[in-house]
């Protein structure tokens, strides 16, 4: 039995909610610094896969991956977290990229809300026709 449009849209909304949460976490850590590149915060991004077969439709979360981009190395010998060579390492979060992700996730989420609203209205109109 095929899933309903509500289940499919719900899975897409859960995926976008996870995307928004990881984006918010990335933005919250955008200005963090560390003493070494290994300790520096790395941007995280969810990985999704479409579920397309006869019985399942929607979006599946495959996991969350860390960005491979290297953290920025800055020479600040007076910083309390500076290593013995005077360097600190800032997160590899690109705030502009994260804001674009946030806007896209918000739009996608809203599109699914609009879809569900339209389906609900169509179902109500169909029920009224039967009376």
Residue 100 domain boundaries: 5-129
The pLDDT assigned to 86 comes to: 96
Q: Looking at the DSSP assignment, which residues form a beta bridge with residue 46?
A: 64
Instruction: Calculate what percentage of the chain has a pLDDT beyond 70.
Output: 94
The pLDDT assigned to 1 comes to: 32
Number of domain units in the chain: 1
Mean pLDDT calculated for residue range 27-33: 96
| Predicted TM-score of the model (pTM) | 0.83
Residue 2 confidence (pLDDT) above 60 = no
Distance CA 37, CA 49 (A): 31
């Amino acid at each position: 039995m095929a899933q309903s449009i509500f289940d499919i849209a719900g899975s897409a909304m859960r995926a976008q909610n996870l995307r928004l949460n990881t984006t918010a976490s990335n933005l919250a850590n955008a200005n963090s610094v560390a003493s070494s590149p290994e300790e520096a915060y790395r941007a995280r991004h969810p990985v999704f896969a479409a579920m397309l077969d006869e019985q399942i439709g929607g979006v599946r979360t495959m996991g969350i991956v860390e960005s491979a981009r290297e953290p920025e190395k800055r020479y600040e010998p007076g910083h309390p977290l500076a290593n013995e060579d005077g360097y600190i390492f800032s997160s590899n979060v690109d705030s502009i990229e994260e804001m674009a992700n946030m806007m896209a996730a918000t739009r996608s989420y809203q599109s699914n809300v609009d879809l569900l609203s339209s389906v609900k209205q169509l179902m109500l109109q169909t029920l009224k026709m039967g009376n």
